[in-house]
Amino acid sequence: MSSAGTTEVPTGLRRARIALLVSYLAQGAVFALLVTRIPSIQTQYGISDNLLPVFLAAVPILAGVGSISMEWVVKRTSPRAVLRIVQPLVCLTLLGVGAGDNMAEAAVALGAFGLMVGGLDASQAMSAVALQHRYGRSIMQGFYASYSLGGIIGALLAATGFTQLSLFGTTTALAIPVVVVASVWYAGPHELGHAVEEAAAAAARSIPWKPLLPLCLAMCVAYIADATVSNWSAKYMQDLLHTSKHMYAIPYAAYMVVMLLGRTFGDGRVQRWGSVRTVSLGAIVCAVGFGLVSVAPEQWTAVVAFAVVGLGVSVVVPQVFAAGGRLFPGASDAAVARINIFNYVGFLVGSPLVGGIAVGLNYRWAMLVPMVLVLLILLVAKSFGAPAVQLAEADTVAV
């Protein structure tokens, strides 16, 4: 394993890390703006409560297609090349969502968002895993902390009184130049050294699914939890607690604030406690948070409960990607692309499941679903400390 060392990090590597932090920041802001404005988007396009889960399910399906396509595309290009293209396109799809006024336009804009965000998520995670490999220590939490900070910014902007089109249009106009400039310093062969050659050699060989499955399960249930907060917290405030419009985005903002804190200090916890213990505690705290959401009597108690969920889930996703990279250090791009599919499986399962129960019963019962499912992470926590799989052996069992 090549490493930049712990005392002197090359300038190019530091710049690449900062550039990727900017990428995660912008993505967090764009995604938060979209999901915290779901009630407004629903009104804008005349989407019924029964049809809303269908739209919310279609986005992760298309995102999954975009993500798994990246394993094929990256073999022929690089995560850097994909990231430079898809991130500005994601920003443009946000503008498309704000500009439409009929159901067909909603379907096109949200579908394009799903496809592009799938490619973006996968290429970001591939780049982050490769950079951590070069640094030789845990830095994954920092990228997701930057995403959380972007989410806070986006949620706070969503709580303002700006119209959909003006808010989404202004965000797009500001975000695209920022990510284009940052893309100049994304990590390439010069910064990643032999990691690129190793990945290219490994790309010609298959990697087995079996060692990845426990991590895929953890990713899936973590994103069921995340989808519940991102897609339904605003509707929870609107339909169950009957709050003002200005409160719709506050639970997600609180969730992201606490997630930011958890991820900011997460790398230190991983260094001290190890991934297995860190992830196990995170799953327990997340479940406690959803239990509190299910019984919250008023709006500010609910906000605190959603924040507890954020504290718990904050460490899980970065450590899933990091563990996948450690399992296949010479084929981390392929491992990350496969694991990232279950990000969207989680959204696909979680969003309609929680929404269906909320419509059929109520939101209190619906919040018990992610509370139970997130505890499944405890059953696979040992996989976060599993040793690397030798690709020579993997070739004989690949599917």
pLDDT in tens, 69-81: 776 787 778 888 8
pLDDT for 325 = 81
Burial category of 244 from C-beta neighbours within 10 Å (exposed 0-12, middle 13-18, buried 19 and up): exposed
Write 358-363 long-range contacts (CB < 8 A, 24+).
358/232, 358/235, 358/236, 358/239, 359/49, 359/50, 359/53, 362/240, 363/232, 363/235, 363/236, 363/239, 363/240
pLDDT for 71 = 64
Distance from the Cα of residue 75 to its chain's centroid: 22
In this structure, which topology does domain 11-394 adopt according to CATH?
Growth Hormone; Chain: A; (1.20.1250)
Give the chain's mean pLDDT. Answer: 84
pLDDT for 81 = 87
| Residue extents of the structural domains in the chain | 11-394
Cβ atoms < 10 Å from Cβ of 137: 12
C-alpha 276/C-alpha 288 separation (Å) is 19
C-alpha 338/C-alpha 190 separation (Å) is 26
Residue-wise pLDDT tens digits, 330-340: 777 678 777 87
Q: Which two tokens stand for residue 391?
A: 């690709």
Q: Which of 57, 104, 97 is nearest to 353 (CA)?
A: 57
Residue 370 reports pLDDT greater than 60: yes
pLDDT for 272 = 81
pLDDT for 24 = 95
pLDDT band at 390 (very low <50, low <70, confident <90, very high): low
Residue-wise pLDDT tens digits, 163-220: 889 999 999 999 999 999 999 999 876 666 655 444 444 444 567 888 899 999 999 9
C-alpha 329/C-alpha 319 separation (Å) is 15
Pinpoint the alpha helices (H) of 183-298.
Answer: 189-192, 194-203, 213-235, 250-264, 266-273, 275-295
Decide: 97 and 231 in contact? Cβ < 8 Å.
Answer: no
User: Rg of the Cα trace of the chain?
Assistant: 20
